[in-house]
A and B are shown apart, each in its own frame.
Chain A
Amino acid sequence: MISIQNISKSYKDVPAVRDISFEVQKGELFGLIGPDGAGKTTLMRILMTLLIQDEGKATMNKLDVVNDYKEIRKIVGYMPGRFSLYQDLTVEENLNFFATVFKTTVAENYELIKDIYIQIEPFKNRLAGKLSGGMKQKLALSCALIHKPEILVLDEPTTGVDAVSRKEFWDMLKKLQKQGITILVSTPYMDEAVLCNRVALMQKGKVLDINTPQKLIENYTRKLYAIRSKDMHQLIQDLRAWEKTDSAFAFGQYLHVTGKDDEVEATEFENYLLKKNHLELQVFDIPPTIEDVFMDRMAEQ
């Protein structure tokens, strides 16, 4: 449904996207996972026909992003990272406006947005600029869907959103996917990767890896330990100071630690840390998260 071949784009001398290629299948929920500056927005803007690439070729449902831009705009829905609806129009006026621009009516495609719109309908006469963050997001999604697009592209819809609202938003995306819409979504939150069918891990304009979240985790073959003690700050310093430690990073209540060449056993870590007088010490094997995978790939670069 989306095909990207060797796309590159620079802003003056600064490369934003470097030689990226991948495909998204029809009906897939595909995630671009990476921090600020990874090139996610640039890539999306190229696909949305809002920016022209320097090199490479990309198609949306076989339509070329440069030559067929008018046709593409009819079949895609786009929710940009920055709230970009009309702040001085009401909720209802915004929705009607977008429906009219796409030569349709709210009534015609109401089924598609019903679940989402119903939550903001009580505020339909409120100005969009006066909505809370969560409500703005729901309105923006409704407006992006009102012409029943085949492909939905969402640029960091959950950035700056609290943990509860993030979960709700992903539930909405899953429902839309069930209706056959192909979804490309970007996020800086690594834990959201597992909610996608496939993801591209991106960093500094490059794709580090593309796969299903499960496969990414399976392919991580390093020996990873979770370590905890009473004084976590001292623990991380002691581990980093040890020549047998390869990496030691905080992961919530534990540290995730790898040994040099993966040859360090749990008991060795334990003995070393006991000598350093750590109390309430725990060392055990732990399966990696997507964030471990990402950090490992970053270190390789």
Chain B
Amino acid sequence: MNPYPDFRQKSPPLEGLGEANQKVIEVRDLVKKFGSFVANDHLNFDVYKGEIFGFLGANGAGKTTAMKILCGLSSPTSGKVKVAGFDIYKETEKVKRNIGYMSQKFSLYEDLTIAENIRFYSGIYGIKPAERKVKMEQLLKNLDIESARDSLIGSLPLGWKQKLAFSVAIFHDPKIVFLDEPTGGVDPITRRKFWDLIYEASDRGITVFVTTHYMDEAEYCNRVSIMNEGKIEALDTPENLKQQYGVKNMDEVFLKIARNKE
């Protein structure tokens, strides 16, 4: 029994998001089953242009399954899903071209240099060499790593790798970037610098869809959804969620939702 009201149908108005609430992700009654196991149980939510959307949940709640579907890597059992304006069933390749993806586990090729990695990803996304050159210089300058352009990725400190992986994931100016636990294991200062990059991307109009186990990072999102056993149990701004559950921080919101279910 869920002792809390159902927010799933509600899309709260978004304060401070100027882009007239333009939807870049639309999910209606998304169901994904593996045999008799229901991994995603009627998910309903929208994500807006430029929004930083936190996608939280306990291990095994169904986050990865949903994220794979949104990235066009897996098909839903039923339901309607549009990403970047494209239908996830019929226009999978267009979806892939309009999104970026970064995870802690897979990001860049360790045995290629910084410049080689950028060239590789530019090739994949069909960025022309002239454009690539200009953007690459800009990227190296922004991250202050111009001197390391010919260093192998494997030789770089973890913090650099993660910032670079993020910059490469948005190199082709996708409408949405999916970040799967991007800050795991990094030191507290680097972790916060990484969020500076997330804010910059959001200011440029890129929607950021992010999972994390750090509950303080949930506070930095415009809105947060919390999944449990395949369902979205809560979806709102961090401020409203804290008020709704009568607690001081997102950690407690998370504990209330995940623990009450057991």
Contact of A159 among B158, B184, B216, B254 (CB under 8 A): B184
Which candidate, A17-25, A71-79, A248-256, A270-278, is the interface stretch facing chain B? Answer: A248-256
Q: Is A98 an interface residue (CB 8 A)?
A: no
- Is A252's CB under 8 angstroms from B185's CB? no
State A37–B214 Cα separation when bound (angstroms): 19
Q: Can you list, as one digit per residue, whether each of A129-173 has a CB less than 8 Å from chain B (1) or not (0)?
A: 000111000000000000000000000000111111111000000
Q: Is B255 an interface residue (CB 8 A)?
A: yes
Q: Is A188 an interface residue (CB 8 A)?
A: yes
Q: Is A203 an interface residue (CB 8 A)?
A: yes
- Is B188's CB under 8 angstroms from A294's CB? yes
- Is B158's CB under 8 angstroms from A162's CB? no
Contact of A298 among B187, B214, B219 (CB under 8 A): B187
Given A252-B249, A252-B250, A253-B238, residue A165 in contact with residue B192 (CB < 8 A): no
Chain B contact residue count (CB 8 A cutoff): 34
Q: Give A291's nearest chain B residue, CB to CB.
A: B188
Q: Can you list, as one digit per residue, whether each of B195-236 has a CB less than 8 Å from chain A (1) or not (0)?
A: 100010001000000000111100110000000000000000
Q: Can you list, as one digit per residue, whether each of A238-273 has a CB less than 8 Å from chain B (1) or not (0)?
A: 000000000001111100000000000000000000
State A162–B219 Cα separation when bound (angstroms): 16
State A252–B215 Cα separation when bound (angstroms): 8
B214 proximity list for chain A (CB < 8 A): 189
- Is B213's CB under 8 angstroms from A162's CB? yes
- Is B185's CB under 8 angstroms from A163's CB? no
Q: Give B262's nearest chain A residue, CB to CB.
A: A164
- Is A164's CB under 8 angstroms from B58's CB? yes
Q: Is A231 an interface residue (CB 8 A)?
A: yes
State A163–B184 Cα separation when bound (angstroms): 13
Q: Is B57 an interface residue (CB 8 A)?
A: yes
State A181–B237 Cα separation when bound (angstroms): 44
Contact of B258 among A162, A188, A253, A295 (CB under 8 A): A162
Q: Is A55 an interface residue (CB 8 A)?
A: no
Given A35-B185, A37-B158, A132-B59, residue A160 in contact with residue B254 (CB < 8 A): no
Q: Is B259 an interface residue (CB 8 A)?
A: yes
- Is A35's CB under 8 angstroms from B59's CB? no
B185 proximity list for chain A (CB < 8 A): 35-36, 159, 188
Q: Can you list, as one digit per residue, whether each of A89-105 has a CB less than 8 Å from chain B (1) or not (0)?
A: 00000000000000000
B244-262 interface with A by 8 A CB criterion? 249-251, 254-255, 258-259
- Is B192's CB under 8 angstroms from A163's CB? no
Closest chain A CB from B244 CB (angstroms): 15
Q: Give B63's nearest chain A residue, CB to CB.
A: A162
Q: Give B187's nearest chain A residue, CB to CB.
A: A35
State A251–B16 Cα separation when bound (angstroms): 21
Contact of A163 among B158, B239, B251 (CB under 8 A): B251
- Is A162's CB under 8 angstroms from B57's CB? yes
- Is B249's CB under 8 angstroms from A163's CB? no
- Is A163's CB under 8 angstroms from B220's CB? no
For A37, A188, A250, A252, the residue with the greatest tally of chain B CB atoms inside 10 Å of its CB is A252
Contact of A253 among B203, B213, B249 (CB under 8 A): B249
Q: Is B124 an interface residue (CB 8 A)?
A: no
State A242–B158 Cα separation when bound (angstroms): 30
Q: Is A66 an interface residue (CB 8 A)?
A: no
Q: Can you list, as one digit per residue, whether each of B165-190 has a CB less than 8 Å from chain A (1) or not (0)?
A: 00000000000000001001111111
State A36–B238 Cα separation when bound (angstroms): 29
Q: Is A190 an interface residue (CB 8 A)?
A: yes
Contact of B199 among A188, A233, A251 (CB under 8 A): A233
- Is B254's CB under 8 angstroms from A163's CB? yes
State A188–B214 Cα separation when bound (angstroms): 11
- Is A295's CB under 8 angstroms from B195's CB? no
- Is B192's CB under 8 angstroms from A250's CB? yes
Given A163-B251, A253-B238, residue A295 in contact with residue B219 (CB < 8 A): no
Q: Give A163's nearest chain B residue, CB to CB.
A: B254
Closest chain A CB from B188 CB (angstroms): 5
State A121–B172 Cα separation when bound (angstroms): 50
Given A160-B181, A233-B199, residue A253 in contact with residue B219 (CB < 8 A): yes
State A198–B186 Cα separation when bound (angstroms): 22
State A252–B16 Cα separation when bound (angstroms): 19
State A249–B249 Cα separation when bound (angstroms): 17
25 contacts between A and B (CB under 8 A): A34-B187, A35-B187, A37-B157, A37-B158, A132-B59, A159-B184, A160-B213, A161-B59, A162-B213, A162-B258, A163-B254, A163-B255, A164-B258, A167-B255, A188-B185, A188-B186, A203-B187, A231-B16, A249-B188, A250-B192, A250-B216, A252-B215, A291-B188, A295-B188, A298-B189
Q: B-side interface residues toward A, CB under 8 Å? A: 16, 57-60, 157-158, 181, 184-190, 192, 195, 199, 203, 213-216, 219-220, 238-239, 249-251, 254-255, 258-259
What are the nearest 8 A-B pairs in CB distance? A35-B187, A36-B185, A252-B216, A252-B219, A162-B58, A164-B258, A253-B219, A133-B59
